[in-house]
Amino acid sequence: MTMLDSLLLLLATGCSLGYVGRADGLNIWEHRLAYLGLHLGLFGASFIAGVHAWTGAAGLQDWLSVLGSGCWLVVSYHSWHQGVPDHVRRHPVT
């Protein structure tokens, strides 16, 4: 495992844990499936990038997966920092 693989593993672990934290508040019956799928897909992308880094087989697609996953966590933080936002609910509270 090279230094770049170690860095990618660290970043992928951080992204994966960020999505685990978000998944804690999501519920399949209360929230839109598109948001569930988005977060599940981005978690999977960052997790697999971490697996590739661990095995030393990381490539450009793994770096881009972690970059995209991390960017979504950062960009959407303002609406998610106090829990699941209303626009994610199937029937928003009015």
Average pLDDT across the chain, whole number: 91
Q: What is the pLDDT of residue 92?
A: 64
Q: Residue 94 falls within a domain, yes or no?
A: no
Domain coverage including residue 69: 3-86
pLDDT band at 9 (very low <50, low <70, confident <90, very high): very high
> How is residue 8 written in tokens?
């990618």
Q: Residue 46 falls within a domain, yes or no?
A: yes
| pLDDT, tens digit, 9 for 90 and up, residues 29-42 | 888 999 999 999 99
* Non-local CB neighbours of 30 within 8 Å, separated by 6+ positions: 89, 90
Q: What is the pLDDT of residue 58?
A: 93
Q: Please, what is the Cα angle at 56 between 53 and 59, to 5 degrees? A: 65
| pLDDT, tens digit, 9 for 90 and up, residues 51-78 | 999 999 999 999 999 999 999 999 999 9
Q: Residue 32 falls within a domain, yes or no?
A: yes
Counting the structural domains of the chain, the total is 1
Q: What is the pLDDT of residue 81?
A: 87
Q: Residue 45 falls within a domain, yes or no?
A: yes
**Which one-letter amino acid corresponds to residue 13?**
T
* Non-local CB neighbours of 56 within 8 Å, separated by 6+ positions: 1, 2, 5
